[in-house]
Amino acid sequence: MTLPAGATSATITTSRLTHHYLDKGPSDGIPVVFVHGNLSSARFFDRLIDGAPAGYRVLAPDMRGFGDSDKVAIDATRGLRDWSDDLAAFVQAVGVERPAHFVGWSTGGGAIANLLVDHPGLVASLTLIDPVSPYGFGGTRDADGTPTTDDFAGSGGGAVNPEVVQRLADGDVGEDSDMSPRNVMRAFYWAPGTEIDRAWEDLLTGEMVKVLIGDGGYPGTSTASENWPGMAPGDSGILNAVSGKWCRWNDIVGVADKPPILWTHGTADLIVGNGSMFDMAVLGQLGAVPGWPGEDACPPQPMLDQIHAVLDAYAAAGGAVRKELFEGSGHGPHVDAEDRWAPLFWEFVGSV
């Protein structure tokens, strides 16, 4: 499939790894950096890049372990800071000489929040598209991110269907199983009934199966636990990096210079929400994972409450926060509600 209009495909070696990336616009344009999430790549932003207004330099890297970038292991004990440090090295290597507007989808949202904390001078604004909770994914019980157990049982590399992992490893781009990458994307990335161009769907499915499979990639390691459901996060790989044990971005509240933040959320998102279908506590509550100890011991993670609490605290501390809900949209409103999402985003960036 052809690249977005005016975009080029390139690779660059930074101080940390070799990135594949898409690049569009003048080298001295206002920089906008799109950061994809788990099981995706830069190509998931094709339509936004295609429609980018004049005067912007749009960059979309494949992050470590994904797409055509280096298949480098993730140190999960750093949460998503391997990704945020990679981004800092990337914008320097490609010659971005002014603060950039960073857009992070899902896992990418947590990474750009960490970037703000650790490399604040690089950030002109943050746009969070259905980001991972500021207290990670799984193993917490309230808006303050209090853990349900001391080892964050029920989150991390063991909290994934093994058939999904196997089909990714096999490079399955078909549609004969609910666990195939294509059907996972159809069911959980977009709102029900969303139809996208078949050629683009083929390309995106192919991008999904490029993921690094194993302990350092997807899903990562897992450890045994005495707590339900019998496993806890390990110390490497992407699903451990987003576990509540290691992933944190609530510290954006303490950043001295607070750039504006736009948070967008699809109200039909089945991945990030209060009652995520990927939350072990929810699956236990539904009887899909046996032995659930009950709501007092292991309640579903209130992901949206956690996001609201941290963004409200950021605003109370002097930062500008804009929240926009996309009714009926799924985990990727930039795709399934592009006609609404894109104008809102470019208006926000222009206002900054």
**What residues form DSSP beta bridges with 137?**
243
Report the run of H or E that residue 262 belongs to, with start and end: strand 261-266
Whole-Å CA distances, 301 to 147, 155, 315: 10, 11, 23
Look up the CATH number of the domain holding residue 76. Answer: 3.40.50.1820
Q: Is residue 228, in this structure, part of any structural domain at all?
A: no
Helices and strands (DSSP H and E) totals, the chain:
11, 12
**What residues form DSSP beta bridges with 8?**
23
Angle between helices 181-188 and 162-169 (to 10 degrees): 120
Q: Is residue 129, in this structure, part of any structural domain at all?
A: yes
Of 178, 168, 175, whose CA–CA distance to 198 is shortest?
175
Q: Is residue 126, in this structure, part of any structural domain at all?
A: yes
The CA-to-CA distance between both ends of the chain, in Å, stands at: 34
- Count Cβ atoms below 10 Å from residue 233 Cβ, excluding itself: 35
* Domain encompassing residue 318: 8-146+247-351
Show pLDDT as tens, one digit a residue, over the chain (352 residues): 799 999 999 999 999 999 999 999 999 999 999 999 999 999 999 999 999 999 999 999 999 999 999 999 999 999 999 999 999 999 999 999 999 999 999 999 999 999 999 999 999 999 999 999 999 999 999 999 999 999 999 999 999 999 999 999 999 999 999 999 999 999 999 998 898 999 999 999 999 999 999 999 999 999 999 999 999 999 999 999 999 999 999 999 999 999 999 999 999 999 999 999 999 999 999 999 999 999 999 999 999 999 999 999 999 999 999 999 999 999 999 999 999 999 999 999 999 9
Question: Could you give the number of structural domains in the chain?
Answer: 1
Of 262, 252, 239, whose CA–CA distance to 318 is shortest?
252
Q: Is residue 101, in this structure, part of any structural domain at all?
A: yes
Q: Is residue 227, in this structure, part of any structural domain at all?
A: no
Q: Is residue 163, in this structure, part of any structural domain at all?
A: no
Distance CA 111, CA 105 (A): 9
Phi-psi region of 322 (alpha: psi -120 to 50; beta: other; left: phi over 0): beta
Q: Is residue 214, in this structure, part of any structural domain at all?
A: no
Q: Is residue 236, in this structure, part of any structural domain at all?
A: no
Q: pTM value?
A: 0.97
| Distant-in-sequence, close-in-space partners of 335: CB < 8 Å, separation ≥ 6 | 44, 47, 189, 190, 194, 196
